[in-house]
Structure 1
Amino acid sequence: VQVMKRLGFEQFMVAGHDRGGRVAYRLALDHPGKISKVAVLDVIPTAAAWDRADARLALSFWPWSLLAQPEPLPERLIGAAPDAIVDNAIVQWGSPAEMFSAEVRDAYVDALRDAVHVHAICEEYRAAATIDRELDAADQANGRSIECPLLALWSSEGGLENWYVEEGGSLAIWRKWADSVEGSPVPGGHFFPEEHPHQTAAALSKFFEDNRGNDASNRVL
């Protein structure tokens, strides 16, 4: 919020994928007057995910529990096999192995060879298991919800498409957290913004441009 203010924007729209999506919806909860629209990609609220944690989440999204362990265990495990971590994520999260070029895959692996980078990733998961979950739970208990329009996009091949069908799917979950919700699945795995960038961009553009008007202060982050 302070960065956008320094850039001259008192109000803006925000989109985020995975951890970025969690930052985005918390911005909308914590700064309701600043965020005019929010788009979240392949996530449900952190507390909602933990509340529904079962064997499927434990096996499919093992980073949630493993990387939340106290340091240095997760950091050492990742540092010992960064290539295996990346390959597992690509294949197990619904994307075809050939989707990433060798150059892109290697860039992800190189990032996990950086101890500072790895520690930051683990700290994100530790926060999700503690303070992030606690803040979400407090907002739910106090009846606080996201006031601005929210777009949810998720992988057609992932857990958000299949795990929560009995309670109405991802949109039903988000409607417990936000006043105005729309969304749909996107073909591909967890990395669908990279698998199908044009389709993802089109969905985001339509959402952000609808009823945008001529307010020059309303920018997308």
Structure 2
Amino acid sequence: MTLKISGFDYQQIPVDEDVALNVAVGGTGSPVVLLHGFPQTHLMWRHVAADLAADHTVICPDLRGYGASDKPTARSDDTYSKRTMAADVVTLARELGHERFAIAGHDRGALVAVRAGLDHPAAITHLAALDVLPTLDTWEILHGASAAVAFHLYLMAQPAGLPEEMISASADAFFGYFLDLWIKDPQAIAGEVRAEYLAASRAAVPSIAADYRASAGIDITHDQADRAAGNQLVMPVTVVQQDWGSVLGYDAAALWGAWAPKLQHHTTSAGHFMAEEAPGEISDVLRSLLAR
């Protein structure tokens, strides 16, 4: 890791046996944890984190298996389950002195945030999810030729071995494909930041695949159990998604509303990497959430 969020302090904090998370901490005030997505690191929050740090303690970790955090070998289905990754985040916050905190996640980080909200409702005061659907809903809406847009989900859902070999053989092309495809303003991710994301992802192929593999298996099982039990996100929730209009073929707000009765759904004209493309807008949305 060479790039850092300016003005933030960095630590390696143990959260599980043989697992420590790399975390950037800055600001003072009520705590907010920001979780990154794929194929990125905590650095994706650099603009939003600096803004929120004016009146919040902002905590930006690399998830287990990503960035400069530890990357344990997936010895069981649970090693990279969102339940395990959410427990990492709750432990991290406690180690930093926070029993209760707000949480915002983008993409993969949003799935971890949702699992934290379901498993640890007493710890999560507010929750934001950026540009993703809950795991169970994602798999239920993917079908036919339209599912081709999510080919990487199916690739990394395969048993360990071939996906890792294929991705490692052309890692920069694979991860760079998504950085280029999912952005509307390429200038939002400067060359040095893009290089940081590629280097971090290149070094984490097995753990990234394990994260995605868990979402095609054990994460679905956990979501199904919550749906059957009627468990919901009891805290104020804000979801921010791209404005795809009717092309999606489903009602994203309705899907989220089934999980979050205190939902506010916001659409943005920015691309998938909205915290980098429209940081002011995302900061404002998060501040509105925190004021609820």
TM-score of the superposition, structure 1-length normalised? 0.85
Q: Distance in 1 between matches of 2:263 and 2:283?
A: 18
> Is 1:150 aligned with 2:237?
yes
| Cα displacement (A) at 1:109 | 1.9
| Cα displacement (A) at 1:98 | 4.6
Partner secondary structure for residue 261 of structure 2 = strand
| Cα displacement (A) at 1:106 | 1.7
The equivalent residue for 2:173 is 84
What root-mean-square deviation, in Å, do the aligned CA atoms of Structure 1 and Structure 2 show? 1.9
Q: Distance in 2 between matches of 1:109 and 1:56?
A: 29
**2:272 corresponds to which letter in structure 1?**
H
| Cα displacement (A) at 1:161 | 7.1
Q: Distance in 2 between matches of 1:123 and 1:109?
A: 18
Once superposed, which parts of structure 1, at least 4 consecutive aligned residues long, lie more than 3 Å away?
96-99
Partner secondary structure for residue 112 of structure 1 = helix
Q: Distance in 2 between matches of 1:6 and 1:94?
A: 35
- Of structures 1 and 2, the one scoring higher in RCO (CA 8 A, sep 6+) is 1
The equivalences for 1:6-17 within 5 A come to 6-17=95-106
**2:179 corresponds to which letter in structure 1?**
I
The answer (yes or no) to whether the contact 1:154–1:161 under 8 Å persists in 2 is no
| Cα displacement (A) at 1:96 | 4.2
The equivalent residue for 1:200 is 282
Count of residues in correspondence between the two structures: 203
Q: Distance in 2 between matches of 1:36 and 1:49?
A: 25
Partner secondary structure for residue 202 of structure 2 = coil
Q: Distance in 2 between matches of 1:137 and 1:58?
A: 21
**2:221 corresponds to which letter in structure 1?**
E
Of residues 101, 122, 125, the one that matches 2:209 is 122
Q: Distance in 1 between matches of 2:184 and 2:159?
A: 30
CA-to-partner distance for each residue in 1:47-81, whole Å, 9 max, x for gaps?
01111112365311211110111121111111111
> Equivalent pairs: percent with the same residue?
34
Partner secondary structure for residue 234 of structure 2 = strand
The equivalent residue for 1:188 is 270
| Cα displacement (A) at 1:154 | 1.0
Which ranges of structure 1 fall in alignment gaps of 5 or more residues?
A: 212-221
TM-score of the superposition, structure 2-length normalised? 0.65
The answer (yes or no) to whether the contact 1:67–1:74 under 8 Å persists in 2 is yes
The equivalences for 1:63-102 within 5 A come to 63-102=152-191
